[in-house]
Amino acid sequence: MQFPKIIQGGMGVGVSNWSLANAVSRLGQLGVVSGTALDSLFVRRLADGDPGGDMRRGLDAFPFPEMAKRIWDEFYIPGGKAAGVPYPLMPMHQRRELRKVVELCIVSNFVEVYLAREGHKNSVGINFLEKVQMPHLPSIYGAMLAGVGCVLMGAGIPLHIPGVLDALAGLRPAEYRLAVTGAAQDADTAMKFDPADYVEGPLPVLERPRFFAIVSSNTLATTMLRRASGRVDGLVIEGPTAGGHNAPPRGKLLLNAAGEPVYGERDQVDLAGLRELGVPFWLAGGYGNAKSVRYALDQGAAGVQVGTAFAFTRESGMRPDLKQSLIAQATTGTGEVFTDPLASPTGFPFKVALLQGSYSDPEVATARTRVCDLGYLREPYAIEDGEIGYRCAAEPVANYVAKGGKVEETVGRKCLCNALMANIGHQQTRRGDLMEEPALVTVGDDLNTIAQFLAPGRTSYGAADVIASLLSLTTDAVAADSSEMVYATA
């Protein structure tokens, strides 16, 4: 069995888009699209007039044309929406979804994976955050319809995803238990999805994608392998220097003088222990350089997962002005990264690049009026008579408190849903005196090292530059097309 040495990490929302994943997979490594909030992103791409016609091309390949037509007819705006007009919003996700929300998840995930697979035969992965549970089932189904080769999931403990993959590949309905704060142990909080309710014609035959769990410790790795509802094919072991959300330190939360979580010995992974588990593993968090790749391979890893280096490639979805500012900082070694213990409503530490004028700037954060209109990070909570309510610690404080949330939980929280849309140029415009949504860029601690990928005199680089550089101390130093990759699904 041959595995990719490099997994290009999933980067939501839309940073690891289809064009980045396509470029990486074409080069024989594992390109991974982010599946997070793809439904809302799809609506915004259509509202922008689908420049380039890529979404249309994906829809034309979608196996259920009536569903594709419903979505196109509702959201496509020829020539794009007028400047200053807000993007249309979908109803927020909930346990029992509206049919059109489910359809949008199926279609948008299909299109992203379809486009990432276009023109080559190598495997493509999709990444989801376990904590963003409500869109899981139809999103995974859409990705499987497009032949996704691997599902990767972290930010939570995705014990029940392997069983979901088995059910969907077996053409059976799938279930996923929604975590509901305050619900009784035996409360029925299952979300259900039966593909038969959505397909047009017979159920398409689907392959079961591989499943890689993203975890931060030996304990979680072992738990995944012992208790998951189906086969776990690999593990990504992500340390606290990685971009995006980080696992909190083990034990009591201590902050350093700058206010960042302090990680210690207990947060180190035991590589010998990992090797003993007998499944392939990839190391992540600060592995975006040739020496670290060599080290990981020498330690028995199948390879590395890298995010930050790929986030700034020409192919990624990050807004060009943000890319340029941060590449310029990296070039002079002045990029600064802050591990914010409060920003994310999930409660996990979230790494942000300090960038003036962005949401990391305290003035911008204070000036933003709290609005919650995307709602991916809303926490389901039990209300009387078995009903479920939804709240987010970054929503308007009075609303959160009225829903039983604690006021201290709201301090320092940032609206990641809107910020991450802004990072990729789909920021919501608001009417009246409300400001346009600000960006909040997440990067790993080794932001400044991305300057290594710039050829002399250049201010940008591509996915191929990153791959060639990372593999330069390995046996496949030439980033050859490894079409013999055994787990390619095409």
Residues forming the site for ligand FMN (CB under 6 A): 9-12, 15, 34, 36, 127, 129, 154-155, 214, 238, 241-244, 284-286, 288, 305-308, 311, 442-444, 446
* Angle value at C-alpha 6, between 317 and 167, nearest 5 degrees: 80
Query: Tokens representing 77?
Result: 């705006």
Tell me which residue of 326, 295, 366 sits closest to 448, measured CA to CA.
326
Closest C-alpha to 309, from 444, 419, 149, 173? 444
CB of 238 to ligand FMN, least distance (A): 5
The closest of 428, 445, 380 to 40, measured between CA atoms, is 428
* Closer by beta carbon to ligand FMN, 307 or else 345: 307
104 token code pair: 């949008």
Q: Which residues pair with 337 in a beta bridge?
A: 353
Distances (CA, A) of 384 to 95, 232, 377, 389, 407: 16, 37, 22, 10, 21
CB of 311 to ligand FMN, least distance (A): 4
| Residue number, 218 or 442, with CB nearest to ligand FMN | 442
Residue 441's nearest CA partner among 312, 257, 348 is 312
| Shortest Cβ 486–ligand FMN spacing (Å) | 23
Q: CA of 34: how far to CAs of 37, 175, 202, 289, 435, in Å?
A: 8, 22, 29, 23, 27
Shortest Cβ 193–ligand FMN spacing (Å): 22
Question: Nearest residue by C-beta to ligand FMN?
Answer: 307
87 or 287: CB nearest ligand FMN: 287
Task: Return the number of the residue (29 or 410) whose C-beta is nearest ligand FMN.
Answer: 29
Q: Which is nearer to ligand FMN, 11 or 247 (CB)?
A: 11
**Min CB(69)–ligand FMN separation in Å:** 30
User: How many distinct helices (H) and strands (E) make up the chain?
Assistant: 16, 14
- 76 or 312: whose CB is closer to ligand FMN? 312
Min separation Cβ 243 and ligand FMN, Å: 3
By beta-carbon proximity to ligand FMN, the closer residue of 75 and 348 is: 348
Rounded to whole angstroms, how far apart are CA atoms 150 and 8? 12
Cβ atoms 430, 371 nearer than 8 A: yes
How far apart are CB 94 and ligand FMN at their closest, in Å?
22
CB of 416 to ligand FMN, least distance (A): 10
Q: How far apart are CA 86 and CA 435, in angstroms?
A: 12
Residue 226 belongs to what H/E stretch?
helix 218-227
Nearer to ligand FMN, 71 or 296 (CB): 296
